[in-house]
């Protein structure tokens, strides 16, 4: 048995969950909050509960035995039955970054307590996200998902894997141009060359349109197919629409049957906690494993280090305060 | 009008606060609200004030009547001082100013009398003026405190969330009563040490904090109870029907309304259940599991039992078995049961005989929300391809959540082990599919490790 407030103090940091499909991100947050409150309340939470106690039943059975009154309790008004549970779900400030919509599943980065300060830094880092998206040829629906209203039926037997590969390559190539536009440099300038040489060219901020860095076929079994998509600033709706458009490009139609985020920057499936593991113990353990993903060299992506001023980088490597990271990126 | 407001606001803001103060107290608003209150002679001065916050007190027909003004004022801010300053022509009595449930001033207010309140976080206090002929009252705040006059009414208004005055122990003197007990509070904690009833209930294991969520009426009722008169007979009653001491606290927490019932009526209800040939052990179990059944009159209980018998064409023994299995059926809404019976019969396509068998073996399935029930059936029948007869054989499956079904079924499919036909080998029964925790289920049914199952779950 651990002292409840000790656990509460340990619940500060960033962790990573596997969001199942069919639930909203906010429901995930509520679920986690409920679980945390449940797990902490079974631990000793009030001062009198810390002490060893003896229960001595009353030998005269005139009245029911006074079994709930702990010995170390001085006044009854401090009793758990009077004051209620020490923790309620809203005591746990759980937030997430870069939401997943209801129909998609995958890695969702969350914070609890003071870990929220890191979320803005994670958002500013504009990590690359990797998705596995499944599609199915032959239908078109109004919202691109299998549950929407069917708008169109089509044939798909003429589609070959090589053609699909080609279309995916076209999509990827089409976005190469946008990369430099959204990064704020001219495509044929020296600056663009240096950016490209330094590594991945990220958009300037998180409000630009989606950029696709990679798109290739990982599974092809008509009418089903699966793509792996690397992107930044995308939404799940955008990816579903992309499947629809790929279908049209191939003179057929396609719906999107699954969107699964398998990686969010340094956060991968291995870190993600399954729904059944959203308990206080597992989350505290996960916070510890995710801590090494929050070092300055991982939070400051290449471009921001070159743009950030020297003293800020120095501060970051010394103290790694997220608020400073934020200021540094604002300046850059 | 607007500019005047603004000027007052800006002036007051710029006044005693330095810039540093403002920065430090970013969230503490600073403002001066001044407003005037008319006496019952009926003249109102309108200085700079918000109309909506001032109501003219209705002047009594008889001028000799005491006019009571109750004013709820809340003071917010980080730290600071709020002042109540009175300007008046004649003498006035300020009956009391209470703050945080404690009365701290009862005095005749002299000319230019000032009451100062130290504001630490947020305070709400109430002033009551009796028989006063004052002209203006101003409430000001300094140093980061802000004053919000809430309401000005001509009668006493109390917060609906507050509990009212509790039962007072007769041993205490009048003075002690006033000092010891607050007149109102937001929970039972303030009274537990003073009230024998409440402390005895806590010792029984009653969760008073849970009762607080059941509304103000029952809280007031419990607060005013006398242990020997109101509680003890009920405890004896529970013991008589065979409830053990450990369960007493839970029962009272679940259903504190039992104290509002007449003891004779409770006995009549128990007698009724016995006359319907429920055994005493059954009755005890039913009361422990759903204490609310004792709140129902015998007529309603009889109608409910008759409803189930007629609806599902059951024998007396079958009704009893179902009720004992799930006592909540007695208090459950008839319409929901009817709707779910319709769902089972018409939408899912079970025959009358099958519906009856489901009710007898798993009555709880009929109390599930109908949308969930349909979703479960959809998955079991259309995705897993189970026949109606198979589902009837283990009807508890209707209480299993869809995502559990889906995860385990999909995993078995991926392993090639989803074999639900009892005549073939490697048969997986519905019971085996959904019961047990993953740590046991994976090696026994799926014949894999839990880690592999978890890995699979991350591909869904």
Is residue B59 in some structural domain? yes
Is residue B61 in some structural domain? yes
Domain shared by A153 and A251, yes or no: yes
From residue A267, how far is each of A101, A127, A239, A298, B442 by CA, in Å? Answer: 18, 10, 20, 11, 27
Contacts of B205 in chain A (CB under 8 A): 67-68, 81
Tell me whether residues B208 and A82 touch, CB distance under 8 A. yes
- Section B181-190 average pLDDT: 77
Is residue A332 in some structural domain? no
Angle between helices B316-325 and B280-289 (to 10 degrees): 40
**Those residues with Cβ within 8 angstroms of residue B14's Cβ, 6 or more apart along the chain or in another chain:** none
Tell me whether residues A77 and B190 touch, CB distance under 8 A. yes
Is residue B345 in some structural domain? no
Q: What is the pLDDT of residue B5?
A: 37
Domain shared by A282 and A196, yes or no: no
Q: What is the CATH number of the domain that holds A226?
A: 3.30.2350.10
Domain shared by A211 and A279, yes or no: no
Q: Which structural domain, as residue segments, surrounds residue B115? A: 2-153
Q: Which structural domain, as residue segments, surrounds residue A151? A: 129-264
Is residue B111 in some structural domain? yes
Look up the ipTM and state it.
0.84
List the single residue in A with minimal CA-CA distance to B244. Answer: A64
Domain shared by A159 and A233, yes or no: yes
Single out the residue of B139, B158, B111, B130 nearest to residue B57, CA to CA.
Answer: B130
Torsion, CA A27, CA A33, CA A37, CA A39, rounded to 10: 90
Q: What is the pLDDT along chain A (332 residues), one digit of tens a residue?
A: 788 899 999 999 999 999 999 999 999 999 999 999 999 999 888 888 776 555 555 555 555 444 555 656 778 888 888 988 999 999 999 999 999 999 999 999 999 999 998 998 898 888 999 999 999 999 999 999 998 899 999 999 999 999 999 999 999 998 887 888 888 888 888 888 888 887 788 888 888 889 999 999 999 998 999 999 999 999 999 999 999 999 999 999 999 999 999 999 999 999 999 999 999 999 999 999 999 898 888 887 754 544 555 555 555 555 555 444 444 444 43
The CA distance from B338 to B22, in Å, is 64
Residue among B193, B205, B209 minimizing CB distance to A76 = B193
Is residue A240 in some structural domain? yes
Tell me whether residues B192 and A76 touch, CB distance under 8 A. yes
Is residue A157 in some structural domain? yes
Is residue A167 in some structural domain? yes
List the single residue in B with minimal CA-CA distance to A85. Answer: B209
Mutate to test the interface with A, among B181, B188, B189, B214 (most CBs of A within 10 A): B189
**With contact defined as beta carbons under 8 Å apart, do B165 and B101 qualify?**
no
For residue B138, pLDDT beyond 90: no
Domain shared by A18 and A101, yes or no: yes
Q: What is the pLDDT of residue B383?
A: 93
Residue among A64, A84, A272 minimizing CB distance to B204 = A64
Domain shared by A75 and A152, yes or no: no
DSSP bridge pairs for B153: B70
Tell me whether residues A83 and B202 touch, CB distance under 8 A. no
From residue B76, how far is each of B110, B142, B184 by CA, in Å? Answer: 26, 11, 21
Last residue of a domain, one of A217, A248, A264: A264
The CA distance from A311 to A326, in Å, is 14
Is residue B424 in some structural domain? no
Domain shared by A260 and A282, yes or no: no
The CA distance from B108 to B115, in Å, is 12
Q: What is the pLDDT of residue A182?
A: 83
Domain shared by A255 and A278, yes or no: no
Tally Cβ neighbours within 10 Å of residue B332.
18
Contacts of A82 in chain B (CB under 8 A): 187-189, 192, 202, 208-209
Tell me whether residues B235 and A276 touch, CB distance under 8 A. no
Work out the pLDDT band at B364, boundaries 50, 70, 90. very high
For residue B409, pLDDT beyond 60: yes
Number of structural domains (chain A) is 2
Is residue B75 in some structural domain? yes
Last residue of a domain, one of A226, A243, A264: A264
Last residue of a domain, one of A248, A264, A280: A264
For residue B458, pLDDT beyond 70: yes
**With contact defined as beta carbons under 8 Å apart, do B264 and B234 qualify?**
no
Is residue B419 in some structural domain? no
DSSP bridge pairs for B129: B69, B94
Is residue A315 in some structural domain? no
Contacts of A269 in chain B (CB under 8 A): 458
Residue among A63, A83, A105 minimizing CB distance to B189 = A83
Mutate to test the interface with B, among A81, A102, A277, A278 (most CBs of B within 10 A): A81
Contacts of B210 in chain A (CB under 8 A): 84
Domain shared by A150 and A37, yes or no: no
Domain shared by A158 and A108, yes or no: no
Domain shared by A157 and A189, yes or no: yes
Is residue B68 in some structural domain? yes
Phi, psi for B117 (deg, rounded to 5):
-120, 130
Domain shared by A147 and A246, yes or no: yes
Torsion, CA B105, CA B107, CA B108, CA B109, rounded to 10: -30
For residue B122, pLDDT beyond 50: yes
């Amino acid at each position: 048995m651990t002292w409840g407030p000790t656990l509460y103090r340990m619940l500060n940091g960033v962790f990573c969950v596997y969001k199942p499909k069919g639930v909203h991100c906010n429901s995930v947050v509520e679920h986690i909050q409920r679980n945390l409150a449940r797990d902490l309340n079974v631990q000793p939470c009030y001062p009198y509960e810390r002490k060893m106690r003896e229960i001595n039943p009353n030998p005269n059975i005139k009245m029911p035995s006074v079994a709930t009154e702990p010995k170390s309790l001085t006044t009854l008004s401090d009793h758990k039955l009077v004051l209620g549970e020490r923790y309620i779900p809203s005591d746990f400030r759980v937030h997430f970054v870069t939401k997943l919509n209801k129909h998609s599943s995958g890695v969702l980065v969350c914070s609890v307590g003071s870990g929220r300060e890191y979320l803005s830094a994670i958002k500013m880092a504009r990590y690359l996200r990797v998705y596995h998206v499944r599609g199915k040829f032959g239908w078109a629906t109004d919202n691109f998902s299998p549950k929407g209203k069917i708008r169109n039926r089509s044939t798909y037997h003429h589609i070959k894997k090589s053609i699909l590969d080609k279309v995916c390559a076209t999509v990827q190539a089409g976005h190469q141009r946008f990369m430099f536009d959204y990064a704020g440099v001219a495509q044929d300038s020296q600056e663009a060359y240096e950016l490209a040489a330094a590594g991945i060219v990220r958009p300037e901020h998180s409000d630009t349109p989606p950029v696709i860095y990679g798109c290739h076929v990982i599974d092809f079994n008509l009418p089903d197919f699966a793509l792996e998509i690397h992107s930044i600033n995308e939404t799940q709706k955008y990816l579903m629409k992309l499947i629809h458009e790929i279908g049209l490009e191939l003179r057929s139609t396609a719906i999107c049957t699954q969107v699964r985020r398998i990686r969010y920057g340094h956060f991968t499936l291995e870190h993600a906690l399954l729904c059944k593991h959203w308990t206080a113990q597992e989350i505290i353990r996960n916070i510890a494993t995710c801590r090494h993903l929050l070092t300055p060299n991982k939070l400051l992506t290449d471009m921001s280090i070159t743009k950030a001023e020297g003293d800020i980088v120095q501060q970051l490597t010394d103290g790694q305060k997220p608020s400073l990271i934020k200021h540094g990126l604002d300046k850059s | 009008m607007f500019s005047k407001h603004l000027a007052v606001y800006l002036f007051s803001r710029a006044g005693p606060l330095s810039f540093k103060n403002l920065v430090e107290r970013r969230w503490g608003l600073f403002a001066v609200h001044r407003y005037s209150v008319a006496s019952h002679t009926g003249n109102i001065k309108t200085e700079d004030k918000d109309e909506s916050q001032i109501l003219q007190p209705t002047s009594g027909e008889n001028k000799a009547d005491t006019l009571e003004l109750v004013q709820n004022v809340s003071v917010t801010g980080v730290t600071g001082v709020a002042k109540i300053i009175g300007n008046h022509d004649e003498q006035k009595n300020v009956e009391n100013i209470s703050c945080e449930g404690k009365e701290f001033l009862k005095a005749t207010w002299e000319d230019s009398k000032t009451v100062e309140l130290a504001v630490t976080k947020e305070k709400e206090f109430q002033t009551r003026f009796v028989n006063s002929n004052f002209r203006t009252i101003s409430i000001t705040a300094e140093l980061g405190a802000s004053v919000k006059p809430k309401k000005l009414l001509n009668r006493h208004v109390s917060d609906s969330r507050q509990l009212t005055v509790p039962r007072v122990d007769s041993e205490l003197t009048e003075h002690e009563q006033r000092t010891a007990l607050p007149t109102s509070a937001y929970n039972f904690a303030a009274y537990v040490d003073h009230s024998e009833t409440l402390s005895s209930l806590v010792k029984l294991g009653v969760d008073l904090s849970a009762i607080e969520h059941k509304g103000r009426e029952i809280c007031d009722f419990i607060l005013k109870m006398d242990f020997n008169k109101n509680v003890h007979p009920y405890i004896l009653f529970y013991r008589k029907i065979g409830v053990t001491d450990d369960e007493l606290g839970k029962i009272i927490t679940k259903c504190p309304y039992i104290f509002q019932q007449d003891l004779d009526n409770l006995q009549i209800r128990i007698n009724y259940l016995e006359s319907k040939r429920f055994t005493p052990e059954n009755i005890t179990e039913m009361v422990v599991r759903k204490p609310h059944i004792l709140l129902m009159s015998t007529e309603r209980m009889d109608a409910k039992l008759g409803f189930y018998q007629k609806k599902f064409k059951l024998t007396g023994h079958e009704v009893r078995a179902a009720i004992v299995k799930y006592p909540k059926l007695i208090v459950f809404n008839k319409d929901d049961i009817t709707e779910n019976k319709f769902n089972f019969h018409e939408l899912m396509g079970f025959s009358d005989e099958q519906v009856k068998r489901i009710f007898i073996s798993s009555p709880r399935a009929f109390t599930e929300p109908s949308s969930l029930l349909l979703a479960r059936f959809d998955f079991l029948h259309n995705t897993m391809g189970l026949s109606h007869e198979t589902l009837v054989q283990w009807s508890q499956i209707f209480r299993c959540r869809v995502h559990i079904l889906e995860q385990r079924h999909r995993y078995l499919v991926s392993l090639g082990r989803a074999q639900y036909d009892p005549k073939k080998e490697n048969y997986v029964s519905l019971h085996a599919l959904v019961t047990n925790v993953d740590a046991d289920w994976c090696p026994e049914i799926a014949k894999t490790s839990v880690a592999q199952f978890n890995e699979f779950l991350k591909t869904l």
